[in-house]
Amino acid sequence: MAVTAVVREWDEPEGWGVLDAPETPGGCWAHWSSIAVDGFRSLAPDQDVQLEWEPAEQDGYSYRALRTWPVGVDPVDHDLSEQDGACSSTLTIRFDDDPS
């Protein structure tokens, strides 16, 4: 169930910020990938948003956003089938066989 929150701060270059709601005392960490809108995903300080969250230790906060979107806008579902609320990536390096 979504709750109403307010964007406390948003670091555009790094793509993350903090949302405040009574249900998430101390703030809820949010990443751009949790923003459920089409196009460029970003939030602005003092913006009212809907927030779906989970308890999690994330960068000093006790809560992490699973999905957030502006109040009055229908959320857009992105492919979340492989996400658990956190972001991850992999890197594979392959070297050519040594010719000698």
* Cβ neighbour number for residue 1 with a 10 Å cutoff: 5
Percent residues over pLDDT 90 in the chain: 72
Walk me through the domains of the chain, giving residue ranges and CATH numbers: 3-70 (2.40.50.140)
**pTM score, whole prediction:** 0.75
**Closest by CA position to 52, among listed 85, 25, 26:** 85
**pLDDT per position as a tens digit, 59-76:** 999 999 999 999 999 999
pLDDT band at residue 94 under the 50/70/90 scheme = confident
Assess whether pLDDT exceeds 80 at residue 99: no
CB 23 within 8 A of CB 39: no
